[in-house]
Amino acid sequence: MKIFNPHENEIIKDVYKGLDIPSRRLFGKKALSLGAISMLSGCTLSNEDSIEKALMVMSRFNDRVQGWLFDPNKMAPTYSEGMITRPFPFNAFYSEAEIRPSPENFRLKISGMVQDAKDWTLAELNAMPQTSQITRHICVEGWSAIGKWGGVRFSDFLTRIGADTNASYVGFRCHDDYYTSIDMPTALHAQTLLTLTYADEVLPPKYGYPLKLRIPTKLGYKNPKYIQEIFITNVNPGGYWEDQGYNWFGGS
Ligand SMILES: Nc1nc2c(c(=O)[nH]1)N[C@H]1C(S)=C(S)[C@@H](COP(=O)(O)O)O[C@H]1N2
Ligand SMILES: [Mo]
C-alpha cells in the first residue's frame, strides 16, 4: 500500500510552500522519529505492516490538523487564458480508451442531510448563475496543468438544496464507480465549483461529463468527475484513493 507523502513530490512541496502550510512539520516522517510516531499512533513498529498502519494513523491526525489550518478566505492562484495547458491531460484509474459513456437521461441525485432531495437535470443546473475560473490542477502522480472550468458555485448549490452546512462531509458517487468526499468548509469555499464546462464548452467525456466538482484548493484525486450523486453526511464516506492510503484531506 502506498502512503501519500508530499515530501516525495516536488510540485506538491512547492504548492504547500506557496500556501504557507508547514507540511514539513505536519507530515512527520522526517521531523518525527519512528519512536515518536509509535507513541502518537499507539502502534508498535515491529515490521513494515505496523509502520504502514502507524503512518495511516498519522495521516488521519493530519486530516484534523489540516482541517484546523484550512483558511476559507484564502484563494488558490488564478491564471490568464494564455497560461492554459494544451492539451489538458486526462487521468483516471483506467485508460482514456476505457471511458464509460454517461447514463442516458442523466439526473443528479441528492441525498442525506438536505431539505430538498429532488433530482436535478443538466438544464436546471445550467439555469443557475454560472461562473468560471482558470486554476492549476495538481495530481500526486507528479504532474500539474492549468485549465478553465465553468459552472455553479458549489456553495450556491448547497444553499439551494437546503444542505445542512453544520454537517461534516459532502460525498460524491460517480458513474465510473469512483467516489470521494470533502469537508464542509472546502465545499463552501468560494472557488469550489460544480463544473458543467471545460474551456467554455460542455464538459467533454474525458474531463467528466456530465458533472465534475472542481476544487482548486485540493489535489486532483479530490476532484470527482462523472458525478451521479451528492450526499451530505456526518459519517466520513472516504474515497477511491483515500481508502488505499492517500491522505483524506488532500489539500491546503
Ligand atoms: N470519476 C472519477 N473522477 C476522478 C478520477 C477518476 O478516476 N474517476 N481521477 C482523479 C484524479 S487522480 C485526477 S488527477 C483527476 C484528473 O482529471 P482530468 O482527467 O480532468 O485531468 O480526476 C480525478 N477525479
Ligand atoms: Mo490524480
Find the mean pLDDT for residues 47-76: 79
Tell me which of 176, 177, 223 to substitute to probe ligand 1's pocket, judged by most ligand atoms within 8 Å of the beta carbon: 223
pLDDT at 149: 98
Model confidence pTM above 0.95:
no
Tell me the domains of the chain and their CATH numbers.
10-69 (no CATH), 81-244 (3.90.420.10)
Looking at the predicted structure, is the pLDDT value of residue 208 above 50?
yes
Cα–chain-centroid distance for residue 205?
19
What whole-number percentage of the chain has pLDDT above 70?
79
Asked if the model's pLDDT at residue 7 lies above 50, the reply is no
For 244, phi then psi, to 5°, come to: -105, 10
67-76, 122-131, 167-176, 210-219: least confident range: 67-76
Residue-level pLDDT at 56: 75
State which amino acid sits at residue 236.
N
How many angstroms is it from 89 CA to the middle of ligand 1?
10
Ligand 2 centre to CA of 35 (Å) is 32
**Residue 14, pLDDT above cutoff 50:** no
Condensed to tens digits (0 to 9), the pLDDT of residues 126-150 reads 999 999 999 999 998 888 999 999 9
Identify the residues whose C-beta falls under 6 Å from ligand 1: 89-93, 137, 139, 174, 176, 178, 206-207, 220-221, 223-226
The residue whose CA is least distant from atom 15 of ligand 1 is: 220
The ligand 1 atom nearest the CA atom of 90: 19
